[in-house]
Amino acid sequence: MHKIVKSLLAASVAVSTSVAVAGNSDINNKDAMAMQEYFKNKLPGVEMSSLIHGAYALDESRFDQFMNIEEFPPYEDFVAKGEEFYNTPFKNGKSFADCFGDDPSAVKAKYPHWDSKKESVVTLEEDINKCLTDNGEKALGWKKGMMAYVSGYLATEARGQTINVVVPDDPKAIAAYEDGKKHFYQKRGQLNLSCADCHVYYGSSYVRSEVLSPATGQASHFPVYRQKWANGSPNEDGLGTLHRRYGGCNKQVRAKPFKAQSEEYKNLEFFHTSMSNGLEYNGPAYRK
């Protein structure tokens, strides 16, 4: 059982993102640091690294309840199913290791990344299905079920590693990143809300009794086990992928959602995950 140690540092420290590397543009790291600085000022006394726990990082009693749930997490059985699926060879004798390498702990941190041949962002879920279909197996649904279980297994394997999404110094990669950033800051839907409205400008504020999570740290813990999804599932299956949540958020502001793994959501993931650069992977995590 992975037990997350609660930090007691009073001073809030900005988590540094990766060192600039030749061939990489640093725009996403600059944006990530600027966002951290914003939240440092907005949330005095809150450690930036703790924002991987989202709204629970902002309130002692919520954090305690959250820690209790993570002791015996409700996603364990589903992650075990994902591990079994990942380790089961395909009908043609090959397996996921032939696509992703022998070390399952080295997989999650490679995504999302820019593929200069495809000229698009590539996500983990995308490559999971590519591996299946390349080997004559059926593709999985993008949003929940076995895709979320496998993604969840690979997330547990990567826990504690530092998020480091790279935007190469390539105009098309930069354009994809900027496209994702545009989605994030653009008002949409009948309710006229952008992601930033709730999760940056009013991140940490209360909607009725719910706390809006800050955007820094949001992408660290996916796939997420959402109690709301579990409640609507016959076997309490609350696991869902990042693009499942993107669709839900778009619907919540009464905007027409995009398709999971569409270019719009992949670019958004490219930007959104970058905003957690420097923080640790801690998926899957429980959320209300």
DSSP state for residue 5 in the 8-state scheme: P
Q: With contact defined as beta carbons under 8 Å apart, do 71 and 89 qualify?
A: no
- Listing DSSP states for 32-47 in one string gives HHHHHHHHHHHSTT--
From the CB of 36, what's the least distance to another protein, in Å?
22
Is 249 tagged catalytic?
yes
Beta carbon nearer to another protein, 137 or 197: 197
Beta carbon nearer to another protein, 209 or 231: 209
The pair of three-digit structure tokens given for residue 167, joined into one six-digit string: 């935007």
Catalytic site residue from 131, 195, 198, 249: 249
Q: With contact defined as beta carbons under 8 Å apart, do 241 and 260 qualify?
A: yes
| 3-class SS of residue 226 | strand
From the CB of 203, what's the least distance to another protein, in Å?
11
From the CB of 31, what's the least distance to another protein, in Å?
19
Q: How many CB atoms lie under 10 A from the CB of residue 241? A: 27
The pair of three-digit structure tokens given for residue 193, joined into one six-digit string: 């809300």
From the CB of 204, what's the least distance to another protein, in Å?
10
Beta carbon nearer to another protein, 116 or 192: 192
The pair of three-digit structure tokens given for residue 92, joined into one six-digit string: 């043609």
Rounded Cα–Cα distance for residues 178 and 27 (Å) = 9
Point out which residues bind another protein (CB under 8 A): 190-193, 197-198, 201-202, 205-209, 254
Residues carrying an active site annotation: 249
